Amino acid sequence: MGRESGDSSSMSFFPLMPARFALAVACVALLPISGADAQQRQRPAARSPEVTFHNRSDTVMQNLFVTPTDEASWGEDRLGSDTVNAGRRHRFRLSTAQQCRFDVRAVYSEGREETRFGVDLCQRPEVSLDGRTETTAQDLQRAGPVALFVVRNRTGNTLQTLKLTSPSGDDSDDILGAAVLADGASYTGRFVRQDGCTYDLTATFEERDEQTIPRRNLCTTREVVFQGSDRNTAPSGTPGAPGAAQEQLQVEIFNRGGITIQTLNVREARANSWGRDRLGSEVIAARNSFTLRMPRGRGCQYDVRITFDNNREEVRSNVNLCETRELAFTGPALAPGRGTRKTAPSQGEATPRLSQVAILNEGTNPIESLFISSSKVSTWGEDRLGASRIAPGDRFSTQVERDDQCNYDFRIVYQGGREERRMRQNICDRREVAFGGPNAFRIDGGGPEGGRRLVFVNQGRTDVRELYLTPVTDTHWGDDRLGSETLPRRFRLELRVPNEGGCRWDVKLVYEGGQTLEQRDQDLCAKAELSVGRPPRIGNLASTGTGFYVSTSGHVLTNQHVVDGCGTVAISRPDGKRTTLRMIAQDEGADLALLQEEGATTPALSLRAGSQTPIRAGERVVLVGYPARSQLGGVNVTEGLISGLRGALGDQSRFQYSAPTQPGNSGGPVLDEFGHVVGVVVSQIDKISGERTAQNINFGIKLDLVRTFLEANRVTPTEDTASQTLRAADILQNANQSVLPLDCLE
């Protein structure tokens, strides 16, 4: 199979955000790819219908199901009696005569499930599975004849069989097949909508009788949870027995960590059974609390157990609940679906594995916050600096308790709110991580310990989002060497390549916006550093974005990444002329830039007044901008909801919204239902574990950061209070003169 070739002729502003998530998660193409573009970005379909699945998790793959998207069941286990060890591949032949898109489900040795939906196996005959991608709420909402639902086992026992019974009494076979569902594990099921939505779900367990959840409408309630029953019944006639006057215990349970608490169990000290989940259908979100009310038993001493999203437990033994009024849990370092949980040191191990790491501040501003988290984890955890800070030129040393690997992510916040991140740092080998100086622009790409060292330097004007490196004799491009990273402008990717690959290698790069560049037959023995990226062509249109007036003196606000590396930024006028803007300020961490049209007297958009209620999840928002201008031409309006009050990885300077967002929307306003600015469009989630599956996960910059940036540059924006709600058409009409199409010229 030959490698792809070709080039994309246009580029748009829109940075990718590395996803540690489970966003979730999260990363993804939000624009359909045309046939021509698909040929550029994908290899030709293989003549042989052989597909390869690469187990890139840290554990054994026990089952693998691959089924067409329109089939009602997962079908046969493609592994049969085989398993796939960590780092190994499994190949088999798959008929793609009828269709190319398939759903994938893998089950690992500890019962963890991984799913991918709508994978095009004609264009992508090799799929990497990392053990972290779970079924999301967006997956469950997909259209089509086959619907999805999730079953979660929280009973404390192994779920052996699971059957669906229709209202007419027809029973299905055991939908788990030869598999079982361990305690805490999940199973993604399938059913055909036209056969009906309402079923009884009956499960049998290893150490208890069967349990039935009756008449569940799986079209409206797509998550089914089997809970444990309460066996803590007191003897008759004792305090706490049914029918006796019972003293009520009341304790406030605080979740001080950054991960949701899913279950809460309480038992009398040294009892044999934990009993039922006291949360029921509720959870305790991060930084929230739950009031536990229960009748007092025979004494005051109780054991309390909570379970976090990642199935990690925390137990407090012999707690006096008669006297305790508050009980706080700080939470683990791991988050849902991001690898296996940490194991306690064995009895013979005196101390956990620790790495000493020094943080160097080579910048000009103090560092106020420091977060260090395993690269397998989707949350940042606690601020390691606390009330301290790292002054310019100083260093800060800290110990990191490692899990089963060495790669960790670092995030710092400077005074003023600007952030920097270093992803996938090997703290077993690297004992210093620098911010703000020349060493800040380095990404460790890993590789075999004895391999040849190679450095890629991005000399282009846009970020590289995918990088492929293979020997010239190889017919496949292999895996994306950047993984969940991107390679920004001026950054260096340092990695090691295996010596057995020889000297002659082919390189392929994919940039923001989809532009592809191939550099064939590179002699890596003759040069240890390779510059990548296209040199600028003076005056050439590099990309487009959106901005908007924030003052009547011609001040224009947009994203920093929209203007980064531009020789000139100009307003594109309807008559084809351009009005050049003067650069006032840029803040890379906030991703904001301020420009000015000289001598202009302009209508400006009003910000929502600071005295008004802050934005809330569920609020309606409208986007006005200039996406995909080469294809769409003019102004575009979309509508959605605010779906979250934090950005990726818990970033409090961002919020999430669902209004459709495309490349070119960057820098435009997010408007509320009154037409007031409540944020600035900044990015989409993209590239979750190398797949493109998430939809409508978009981020905006919050107003408090916008106000801080404008105040620092002596611009006082207009603010307004709510009046009356407007239709999207009226919001567009009012904002049209103030929202601008921007051109970036090299």
Assigned CATH for 248-329 = 2.60.40.2890
Q: Which of 363-367, 388-392, 515-519 has the lowest mean pLDDT?
A: 515-519
pLDDT band at 405 (very low <50, low <70, confident <90, very high): low
| Residue ranges of domains in the chain | 248-329, 536-746
Q: Give the pairing type, strands 719-720 and 607-608.
A: parallel
**Count of all residues that appear for the chain in the document:** 746
- As a whole number of Å, the CA-based R_g of the chain is 28
Q: Percentage of residues in the chain with pLDDT exceeding 70? A: 78
| Distances, alpha carbon 523 to alpha carbons 161, 446, 449, 482, in Å | 57, 20, 21, 21
pLDDT higher for 230 or 354? 354
CA atoms of 719 and 708, how far apart (whole Å): 14
Evaluate if residue 24 carries a pLDDT over 90.
Answer: no
Between CA 572 and CA 579 the distance in angstroms is 7
Model confidence at 250: pLDDT above 90 = no
Helix (H) or strand (E) holding 465: strand 464-471
How many whole angstroms separate alpha carbon 45 and alpha carbon 678? 45
Q: Tokens standing for 697?
A: 């996960």
Q: pLDDT tens across 322-344, in order?
A: 888 888 886 653 333 333 333 33
pLDDT of residue 9: 33
pLDDT of residue 3: 39
pLDDT interval class at 235 (50, 70, 90): very low
pLDDT of 42 reads 40
Residue 45 has what pLDDT?
A: 40
At residue 487, the pLDDT reads 79
Q: How far is CA 474 from the centre of its chain?
A: 32
> Which residues, 6+ apart, have CB-to-CB distance to 347 below 8 Å?
none
d(CA 635, CA 613): 29
Q: Is the pLDDT of residue 277 over 80?
A: yes
Name the amino acid, one letter, at 690: G
Task: Look at residue 513 in the predicted model and tell me its pLDDT.
Answer: 60
Calpha distance 353→271 (Å, rounded): 34
pLDDT score for 422: 74
With respect to CATH, is domain 536-746 assigned 3.20.20.70?
Answer: no
Task: Give strand ranges (E) for 258-394.
Answer: 261-268, 289-295, 301-308, 313-320, 326-329, 354-361, 367-374
Whole-number Å distance between alpha carbons of 568 and 582: 9
User: What pLDDT is stored for residue 555 in this prediction?
Assistant: 94
Do 530 and 459 touch, CB atoms closer than 8 A?
Answer: no
Instruction: Tokens 């000015």: give the residue.
Output: 596
Neighbours of 560 (CB within 10 A): 21
Q: What is the edge-to-edge ordering of all strands in the sheet holding 516-523?
A: 464-471, 504-511, 516-523
The highest-confidence range among 265-274, 411-420, 701-710, by mean pLDDT, is: 701-710
- The pLDDT score that the predictor gives to residue 334 is 31
pLDDT average, residue stretch 543-568 = 90
Entry pTM: 0.40
pLDDT per position as a tens digit, 515-537: 788 888 888 888 778 777 665 56
Split at pLDDT 50, 70, 90, the class of 649 is low
Assess contact for 23 and 644: CB atoms under 8 A.
Answer: no
Q: Is the pLDDT of residue 483 over 80?
A: no
Distance in angstroms (rounded) separating the CA atoms of residues 306 and 705: 36
How many CA atoms are closer than 13 Å to the CA of 460, on its beta-carbon side? 21
What is the distance between the alpha carbons of residues 379 and 287, in angstroms, rounded to a whole number?
14
Q: Name the residue among 208, 114, 111 with its Cα closest to residue 157.
A: 208
- The pLDDT of residue 353 is above 80: no
The per-residue pLDDT for range 110-145, each reduced to its tens digit, is 778 899 988 888 877 888 888 878 888 778 877 778
What is the token pair recorded at 136?
Answer: 């999301």
- pLDDT at residue 638, rounded to an integer: 93
Q: What secondary structure does DSSP assign to 335-347, as a single string?
A: -TTSSPPP-PPPT
The DSSP output letter for 744 is E
The overall average pLDDT reported for the chain is 77
| Cβ contact 155:226 at 8 Å | yes
pLDDT of residue 535: 56
Q: Which of 32-36, 38-42, 44-48 has the highest mean pLDDT?
A: 44-48
**Which tens digits make up the pLDDT trace of 573-628?**
887 788 999 999 888 778 899 999 988 888 999 999 887 888 999 999 999 999 87
Contacts of residue 577, defined as CB under 8 A and 6 or more positions apart, other chains included, come to none
Say whether pLDDT at 742 is over 90: yes
Query: Phi, psi (5° rounding) for residue 250?
Result: -135, 120
Decide: residue 306, CB within 10 A, 0-12 exposed, 13-18 middle, 19+ buried: buried
CA atoms of 532 and 219, how far apart (whole Å) = 49
- pLDDT bin (cut points 50, 70, 90) of residue 13 is very low
Question: How far apart, in whole angstroms, are the C-alpha atoms of residue 398 and residue 356?
Answer: 6
More confident residue, 655 or 229: 655
Q: What gap in Å lies between CA 449 and CA 496, rounded to an integer?
A: 7
> Which pLDDT belongs to residue 167?
86
| Confidence band, pLDDT 50/70/90 cuts, at residue 639 | very high
